[in-house]
Copies of this chain bind each other. A is one copy, B any other.
Amino acid sequence: MSHLTELFKYVDDHQDLYVQEIPLPPIILGQLGSDPAKKTVCIYGHLDVQPANIDDGWDTEPFTLVEKDGKLYGRGSTDDKGPVLAWFNCIEAYQKIGKDLPINIKFCFEGMEESGSEGLDDLVFSRKDTFFKDVDYVCISDNYWLGKNKPCITYGLRGICYFFIEVECGGKDLHSGVFGGSVHEAMTDLIALMGNYLPLFKVIDHLQKKFAELGSPNKLKVNMGHGAKAWVSDFNHPHYMAGRKAMKTVFGVEPDLTREGGSIPVTLTFQEATGRNVMLLPVGSSDDGAHSQNEKINRSNYIQGVKLLGAYFHEVSLLE
């Protein structure tokens, strides 16, 4: 037993190794080219994904890319590892044909997007006068077409607003036979609050007022968990015209011009930090199933997408 004394002392002495705050995953900043005669495009993407397990209802292992009927199945195939890879495949294709990239690129890839991009805003704002200073345009490929056949460019986002409502009743379990019907049950208060139409503003004030009207002795806690402002841009901006022309070149049609519900809060972050135009240039199709079981990206979307990014580089290089 004597070794246990030593073992326990070691564990006590090194407890900070076990109980500690974990650092956020790194954000990758990279640069390709610095020709002052060329435009500089900042490309954002994210490398983290939603959780996935075959038991959730996937037909194949979520973390093994599987092609079936022209569809590439796997977690992150469309959100957002696939589109990130498409940028690299496009750069590689330029290299293979022995042609210089017509633009400079600044990459910003993070690993916390599915968890509210924690830490990203701080980094982008803190480097707005250094790394991000000479950026001319920002381009993000992290959303989806409106349908399955026609591409789109996205110039608006709805934003997002999460609230958490918590009602606390007893401090311990209560027997329904003894207390049921005589205590104010937390669930009843919660249903009453959640059955309300919420105003656009002052949500917390509104819920506290409604709760007070219930006359309940329970305790209410409301807080906003996570939010992102709405965003809209101008689809006739030269940067957008470059994107639209690139779409026309690859797909032969003028793209849909959309606003959508995904929050992508970094869009506004980049716009505010760089003061430059930001465009959302999706590669995936509406039925890709981001965040869902059997997430996929179509082989055709991917291959045409790589071409699209090349055409986009070209069109940007022609801008004034």
Residues of A within 8 A of B (CB): 56-57, 143-144, 158, 160, 172-182, 191-192, 194-195, 260-264, 286, 289-294
In the complex with contacts A192-B195, A195-B195, A260-B175 CB distance below 8 A: no
In the complex with contacts A172-B57, A292-B175, A191-B195 CB distance below 8 A: yes
Between A57, A173, A179, A293, the greatest number of chain B beta carbons within 10 A of the residue's beta carbon is seen for A173
Tell me the smallest distance from the CB of A53 to a CB of chain B, in Å.
Answer: 12
Question: What are 6 pairs between A and B in contact, CB < 8 Å?
Answer: A160-B176, A174-B292, A176-B291, A178-B261, A182-B261, A191-B194
The chain B residue with its CB closest to the CB of A58 is B172
Residues of B within 8 A of A286 (CB): 178
Copies in the complex: 2
The chain B residue with its CB closest to the CB of A56 is B173
Q: Given the complex of chains A and B, what is the CA–CA distance between A260 and B181 in angstroms?
A: 11
The chain B residue with its CB closest to the CB of A192 is B195
CB < 8 Å neighbour of A177 from B177, B179, B262: B262
Q: Given the complex of chains A and B, what is the CA–CA distance between A261 and B264 in angstroms?
A: 52
The chain B residue with its CB closest to the CB of A144 is B178
Q: Are B57 and A291 in contact, with the CB atoms below 8 A?
A: no
Q: Given the complex of chains A and B, what is the CA–CA distance between A195 and B210 in angstroms?
A: 14
Q: Are A260 and B195 in contact, with the CB atoms below 8 A?
A: no
Q: Are A177 and B292 in contact, with the CB atoms below 8 A?
A: no
Tell me the smallest distance from the CB of A264 to a CB of chain B, in Å.
Answer: 8
